[in-house]
Structure 1
Amino acid sequence: MSPVPIGILGGTFDPIHNGHLRLAQEALEQCSLGVIRFVPGGTPPHRNTPRASAEQRLDMVRLALHGNQSFELDDREIFRIDPCYTVDTLSALRAELGAMQPLCLLMGGDAFLTLDSWHQWKQLFELSHIVVVQRGGQPLGNAVNGASVPLREEYQARLALAPRILHESPAGAVLVVDMPVLEISATDIRKRCAERRSIRYLVPDSVADYIKFHHFYT
């Protein structure tokens, strides 16, 4: 019997919010994943330096995941000062977990459409499946038609029609799952903090209290 797939969700989590958590929960349920590992990034190659420190972002993710046994914190990237590439993280996980463990890299549709700009992006398919969580009313297939030819070809060749594919092989498929529309972004949360506006129900209460106590983003 094949091992149960493990989900991997990376990000700066500056701060982690309910959109991240709902994306992970949808993937967990729709794909019958065993656990999801949250991997806060250290030095992101594609984004600006996070506003909160590595320790602060790690604390917020730990608070957000508390109480959910299906969510795990993986701190392998957070204190690195060199650029953190997803291909390196997946390679390390593959070495630790073995060749037959199915891995599922989770991402939103917007991120998938830029995948061909990632470092050694085609190697990602050799290391894991990719689960794309699309927001309701925004079909990924339509958007992919406007993507680069290499990305469009990979998508069409690897598209899986059912989650069972993730359980039958360790890597290589692209699966699209749906998610309710939640218009939440870390940028908006930081802006609300700067304007002294409430962020309740955008982030877990424990994270909101942590941000307020430490006066983050103000």
Structure 2
Amino acid sequence: MAKIGIYGSSFDPITNVHLWTASTVAQRCKLDRVIFLPCSSKRTDKQLHISDEHRWNMVLMAIEGNDKFVADDYEMKLAGWEIATYLTLKHFKAKFPEDEIYFIMGADLLLDIGEGKWKKSEELIQENKFIVMARDGINMLTAISKSPILRNSDDGQTFHLIDKGLAMEISSSYIRDELKMGGEPRYLVPENCYSYIKTHKLYA
């Protein structure tokens, strides 16, 4: 039985922090594989800045050479109304029935789920396992204890909290702003992705 982490994000663009956090999570949680899952531009709650094709191409380039990293365009192919993390995890559990599936997310998303802001929040927490990465200013234990949705599923196995060393706040939005203003975020993204961004004049 393998342990697989599902790492969903806009990846707009994918950054070195995405790769670093995925690598650290894989090492600390003994994951056999991390699946990078770019979200779809058809999602109504996301405003993306480049096409699905460009984001997908950069994810593939970024993870090249790491045999633990794979990419999956499952959500990119769905109609917007069909996209929900609950359904996505149901898909991957059916695809890998013999394996243990974890959803990798930041503590900020844990807060949103705990407040019932996601589709099927209760079922999502009750039926799945999560690796939660620290975010500055968020106490994950407090967040779990204050939310009935989270607290009632805190059985010692649902949440794997990583509270040290993963709170680096360099975001895709910061990189987009740098590129838009003529800044130089070269070493914040993989070198091949940086070249791709420049060649295709993305985010300018």
Alignment TM-score, normalising by the size of structure 2: 0.89
Q: Quick one: distance in 2 between partners of 1:192 and 1:210?
A: 16
| Aligned partner of residue 13 in structure 1, secondary structure | coil
1:81 maps to which of 79, 82, 88: 79
Report the alpha carbon displacement of residue 196 of structure 1 after superposing the two structures with TM.
1.4
1:177 maps to which of 140, 159, 162: 162
| Aligned AA (1:24) | A
Q: Quick one: distance in 2 between partners of 1:67 and 1:29?
A: 17
Report the alpha carbon displacement of residue 136 of structure 1 after superposing the two structures with TM.
6.8
| Aligned partner of residue 16 in structure 1, secondary structure | coil
Query: Aligned pair count?
Result: 199
Contact 1:90 1:127 in 2 (8 A): no
Unaligned 5+ residue runs, structure 1? 166-172
Report the alpha carbon displacement of residue 19 of structure 1 after superposing the two structures with TM.
1.9
| Aligned partner of residue 37 in structure 1, secondary structure | strand
In structure 2, the partner of 1:123 is 123
In structure 2, the partner of 1:140 is 140
| Aligned AA (2:70) | E
Alignment TM-score, normalising by the size of structure 1: 0.83
Q: Does 2:30 correspond to 1:53?
A: no
Report the alpha carbon displacement of residue 101 of structure 1 after superposing the two structures with TM.
2.0
Contact 2:9 2:37 in 1 (8 A): yes
Contact 1:17 1:186 in 2 (8 A): yes
In structure 2, the partner of 1:169 is none
In structure 2, the partner of 1:168 is none
Q: What percentage of residue pairs aligned between the two structures are identical?
A: 30
> Aligned ranges for residues 6-21 of structure 1 at < 5 Å?
6-21=4-19
Contact 1:54 1:79 in 2 (8 A): no
| Aligned partner of residue 80 in structure 2, secondary structure | coil
Q: Cα deviation per residue 1:166-191 (whole Å; 9 max; x = unaligned)?
A: xxxxxxx1110133442211111111
Q: Quick one: distance in 2 between partners of 1:131 and 1:139?
A: 15
| Aligned AA (2:161) | V
Q: Quick one: distance in 1 between partners of 2:91 and 2:167?
A: 33
Unaligned 5+ residue runs, structure 2? none
